[in-house]
Amino acid sequence: MKTRAAVAFAAGEPLSIVDVDVQGPRPGEVMVEVRATGVCHTDEFTRSGADPEGLFPAIFGHEGAGVVVEVGAGVTSVVPGDHVILLYTPECRACKSCLSRKTNLCTAIRATQGKGLMPDGTSRFSIDGKPIHHYMGCSSFAHHTVLPEIAVAKVRKDAPFDKICYIGCGVTTGIGAVLFTADVEAGANVVVFGLGGIGLNVIQGARMAAANMIVGVDINPAREALGRRFGMTHFVDPRAIKGDLVAHLVELTGGGADYSFECVGDVTLMRQALECCHRGWGQSIIIGVAGAGKEISTRPFQLVTGRVWKGTAFGGARGRTDVPKIVDWYMDGRIQIDELITHKLPLARINEAFDLMHAGTSIRTVIEFD
């Protein structure tokens, strides 16, 4: 069948809105009609050409929610009509990683996912018979997409697609980084670098954890007001302070952060985020994704003296288990999403979402399909 999609034909170019051929689901797979998808900075990272795993042509998008319209042979956990959130971190519950209980990084399909293919090594998307790559196993910038059954989380039907799509990445990544990866304790002092679609969710996760001081760091002063609405207690614009940012943050937090989170993807900030942590126990969590060739560095002394460097993907959340619960948190009013969805656009105007991101005027743009 044909479906409408935003296709990235080459790095650095705008996406093209075209009709593509999409094949039905094969055994173990499901076809989803995407109703809404967020545009995450990671989509822009890959579109720009900075992603060492980036493949073209491809259909990006990994923050989607929609309805199952068809299931392949052997699918048992969802049926047509079920509402789902797409998972770029699947949960097979059978691989070594899932069974370890130590990580959310299911390895069942990671190899083919990284090659832009379904687990059988082929693509379901094509144009004039030429394959188009999948992206992060989701390709939510297509009205219809196909995923392995293990890569969809079934969610309640009364939750609005235009809000819960954001749980497919940003919300879960930010809140999960605090609650699952760092396990921030009540009373902790937290520093968050970058107050965009991820960082603001780190802030609301820190508030849920009953953190004491929640310091936000961003070069965009317009982020202060929204940060404070989400629980930020102090705002630091690095361009407005005199002297060294790390020294400033150590002094502000009375000796250093108990936890810091890098939500930008800048390796210089990653170092500052580690070094502003408290000697002896401070933990710094890397969330931001850095381009090909970028490396982090610090003096080993920073680690010898007890600081801990960690990273997190999808906030450490186990998709099929945790995502339906996070949808409940939203529906029960325990977390805020609406305020962060600053713009909505039809698929035909998706390139404007990247412009808004660059201009610093959006937190999340959500694309709604008709």
**Encoded amino acid at 281, one letter:** W
- Complex with ligand NAD: residue 59 or 287, whichever CB lies closer: 287
By the rule CB under 5 A, 40 interacts with Zn ion: yes
- Give the pair of three-digit tokens for residue 285: 């969590």
Closest CB 278 distance from ligand AHE, rounded Å? 27
Query: How many other CB atoms are there within 10 angstroms of residue 299's CB atom?
Result: 10
Give whichever of 169 and 270 is closer to Zn ion, judged by the CB atom.
169
**What span, in angstroms and rounded, lies between the C-alpha atoms of 226 and 61?**
25
The residue behind tokens 């009609």 is 33
Selection from 256, 251, 252 nearest residue 275 by Cα: 256
Binding to ligand NAD (CB under 6 A) within 249-278 occurs at 263-266, 269
Q: Is residue 28 within a helix (H) or strand (E), and if so which, with residue range? A: none
What count of other Cβ atoms lies within 10 Å of the Cβ of residue 231?
A: 21
- Using DSSP's 3-state secondary structure scheme, residue 324 falls into helix
Residue 238 interaction partner, one of Zn ion, ligand NAD, ligand AHE, none, beta carbon < 5-8 Å per kind = ligand NAD
The one of ligand AHE, ligand NAD, Zn ion, none whose footprint includes residue 125, by CB under 5 to 8 A per kind, is none
Binding mask 310-329 toward ligand NAD (x if CB under 6 A, else -) reads --xxx---------------
Q: Which is nearer to ligand AHE, 53 or 185 (CB)?
A: 53
- 89 counts as binding ligand AHE under rule CB under 6 A: yes
Complex with ligand NAD: residue 82 or 322, whichever CB lies closer? 322
Binding part of the chain for Zn ion, among 28-36, 162-170, 251-259, 312-320 by CB under 5 A, reads 162-170
φ/ψ of 234, rounded to 5, equals -140, 145
The neighbour count for residue 300, using CB atoms within 10 Å, is 8
- Which helix (H) or strand (E) segment holds residue 83: the answer is strand 83-86
Does 313 contact ligand AHE by CB under 6 A?
yes
Strand 341-346 to strand 364-368: parallel, antiparallel, or no bridges (unpaired)?
Answer: parallel
Token pair of 278, please? 């408290």
Q: Which of 36, 39, 40, 245 binds ligand AHE (CB under 6 A)?
A: 40
The answer to whether residues 320 and 150 touch, using CB atoms and an 8 Å cutoff, is: yes
The CB-of-139 to ligand AHE minimum distance in angstroms stands at: 14
165 is catalytic: no
Q: Which of 169, 263, 276, 277 is catalytic?
A: 169
For residue 52, the tally of other CB atoms under 10 A from its CB is 10
Residue nearest to ligand NAD according to CB distances in the complex: 196
Catalytic residue among 3, 35, 37, 42: 42
**What is the rounded distance in angstroms from the CA atom of residue 288 to the CA atom of residue 307?**
19
329: helix, coil or strand? helix
- H or E segment and range at residue 267: helix 267-275
Query: Please, which of residues 276-295 interact with ligand AHE by CB under 6 A?
Result: 289
30 vs 337, which CB is nearer to ligand NAD?
A: 337
Residues 9-68 that bind ligand NAD (CB under 6 A): 40-42, 45
Which residues form the catalytic set? Answer: 40-42, 62-63, 92, 95, 98, 106, 110, 169, 364
Give the interface with Zn ion as residue ranges (CB under 5 A).
Answer: 40, 42, 169
Give the interface with ligand AHE as residue ranges (CB under 6 A).
Answer: 40, 42, 51-53, 88-89, 105, 110, 169, 289, 313-314
